[in-house]
Amino acid sequence: MRTRIDCYIEGNLGRADLTVTHLAAHHHISVRSLHRLYDDQQETVAASIRRRRLERCRADLADRRMAAYPIAVLASRWGFPVPAEFSRAFRTAYGISPRAFRHRTASNDAPRTAPPAK
């Protein structure tokens, strides 16, 4: 059952309505039973969903191919429809704002020019 739920989570991270309540209802179990399935884990089901979403957002922000997309669009793509909430969650998780992270990774990926020959 847990494997099936984990697969469902992975396939539906972009859904803003992917919540513990939604997961339990979709799998025809109670919220309490869902939590019990994950008792041996380091984090709650909700925290796991949030972490996975933030990881996907972080990867998109670091991806040069996604540079043309506004941060809010990338956040919404992974289930964060409210930009301010995404920004707070990202800063809490990574210690830097999404905009600063994107800028830093873009400047780290910038092509380096060779020093002038002497």
- Which pTM was predicted? 0.84
Distance CA 54, CA 111 (A): 27
- Given a contact cutoff of 8 angstroms between Cβ atoms, the answer to whether 65 and 73 are in contact is no
Indicate the pLDDT class of residue 107, thresholds 50, 70 and 90.
confident
Higher pLDDT, 111 or 16: 16
pLDDT higher than threshold 60 for residue 113: no
| Structural domains of the chain in order of their starting residue, each with its CATH number | 2-109 (1.10.10.60)
Indicate the pLDDT class of residue 114, thresholds 50, 70 and 90.
very low
Using a pLDDT cut of 70, give the percent of the chain over it: 92
SS3 state of residue 59:
helix
Indicate the pLDDT class of residue 116, thresholds 50, 70 and 90.
very low
Q: Is 49 left (phi over 0), alpha (psi -120 to 50) or beta?
A: alpha
